Structure 1
Amino acid sequence: MIEQTTPAGATGALVVLATRNQGKVRELRALLASLPGLEAVDLETAVIDAVAAGCSEIPETGVTFEENSLIKAREVARQTGLPAVADDSGLAVEVLGGAPGIFSARWAGTQASDEANLQLLLEQLADISDEHRAAAFVCAASLVLPSGDEYVEHGRLQGTLLRAPRGDGGFGYDPILQPLGESRSCAELSMQEKNAISHRGKAFAALAPRIAAVLQAAR
């Protein structure tokens, strides 16, 4: 375990967000903001000593969202000695049998940008008619405690894939997924609107009582 680094000015119980994806960091902070007394720190802050020493990305070797979420949270809890929350999420397209799935972030290659992943998917679905463009964002959110206790919750946002990106909010595939019952893409929703219906919002809402219990135990 690396030397624990507590952010200056931290006043609440610390929970580490096990991600370096700044889009996710913003969403997770917003989702956890309703828990008073919680100090949610990101990886760059919580494990700054390890980062300076060249700490590599945590390999996501699982074959499901749940496995990858737990892999990340377990490793960060081990490194920091703090409770860690993580999620693994992606886009599941029905006509592709659930792909890109766990490969969503690297659909166009291991170093591909969000835009490259999105454009490749649109190209692959160019000939698919509107009635067969059903898709969903899927999320597994986990909490791992230094004691070894683990909790996992799931969330899903059903929708349909647009033929061209719309909106400049969010990240990843947000510009091309239109939630059921909506006329806008996820990237056209405010963060508050998106979190209220999103796969990640649902998963972390279900996980929140577990995180609240951690806060209670820390008091």
Structure 2
Amino acid sequence: MADGEPRLVLATHNQGKLRELRELLRGQIPGLDVDTQVIDAAAAGAPDVPETGLTFAENSLLKARAVAEATGLVAVADDSGLAVDVLGGAPGIFSARWAGKHGDDEANLRLLLAQLADIAPEHRGAAFVCAASMVSPRLEAVEEGRLAGVLLTEPRGSGGFGYDPILQPDGMDRSCAELQPEEKNAISHRGQAFRALLPHLVAALR
């Protein structure tokens, strides 16, 4: 296989997720150049895949299967979101479009904070949840991760993306958006799910 030829495609157009996956994989798979051989859906010419599943795992697998079929590459996908205790697990699979427009982080944050404005600190428990899938011609796998914490009343920090500025992980005094990338990757829901997926990726990319 030619040097730099893509080997793994992440089924997303979200550059934040691509950066996180590259950092998680860096040095983990012998011979894999994460900066040139791990690409996103746009670079692979893969289609957008509707998230029609009812769970994070279903949506993740739908995307990975479709992108693997379209590109012929090993495909990785995740579906992740924020599950708020007092909202019965919502926004959940609707996290990225909670305010109505997919990917409008600021609107999603503001709407959620407004909905929780009268909720006391002791009842503001929430967790980031992630299901990560890998599909290759020989293998399929799904792994999950969870990062529990409490929701702040205002965004804090400029790192990360999505709801990172308002979730403060349990045992910490900073929001996810105030953590350094390596700190976040060490504890994040996505980091947990992708680390659990790593042995399957190693097997698929041999």
The percentage of counterpart residues that share the same residue type is: 68
Q: State the number of aligned residues.
A: 201
* Higher mean displacement: 20-29 or 161-170: 20-29
Alpha-carbon distance in structure 1 between the residues aligned to 2:102 and 2:170: 31
Match of residue 45 from structure 1: 43
User: Residue 146 of structure 1: CA displacement?
Assistant: 2.8
User: Residue 110 of structure 1: CA displacement?
Assistant: 3.0
Matches within 5 A, 1:4-153: 10=4, 14-35=7-28, 36-38=30-32, 39-47=37-45, 55=47, 57-111=48-102, 113-147=104-138, 149-153=139-143
Stretches of structure 1 lacking an aligned partner (at least 5 in a row)? 1-5
Alpha-carbon distance in structure 1 between the residues aligned to 2:186 and 2:141: 22
Per the alignment, in what secondary structure is the counterpart of residue 7 of structure 2? strand
Alpha-carbon distance in structure 1 between the residues aligned to 2:72 and 2:137: 6
1:199 and 1:117, CA in 2 relative to 1: closer, same or farther beyond 3 A? same
CA RMSD of aligned residues (A): 1.6
Alpha-carbon distance in structure 1 between the residues aligned to 2:60 and 2:128: 15
Match of residue 164 from structure 2: 174
Per the alignment, in what secondary structure is the counterpart of residue 128 of structure 1? coil
Match of residue 155 from structure 2: 165
TM-score by length of 2: 0.93
Per the alignment, in what secondary structure is the counterpart of residue 166 of structure 1? coil
Stretches of structure 2 lacking an aligned partner (at least 5 in a row)? none
Match of residue 193 from structure 1: 183
Q: Residue 25 of structure 1 contacts residue 42 of structure 1 at CA under 8 Å; is this kept in 2? A: yes
Q: Which amino acid aligns with 2:4?
A: A
Q: Does 1:212 align with 2:202?
A: yes
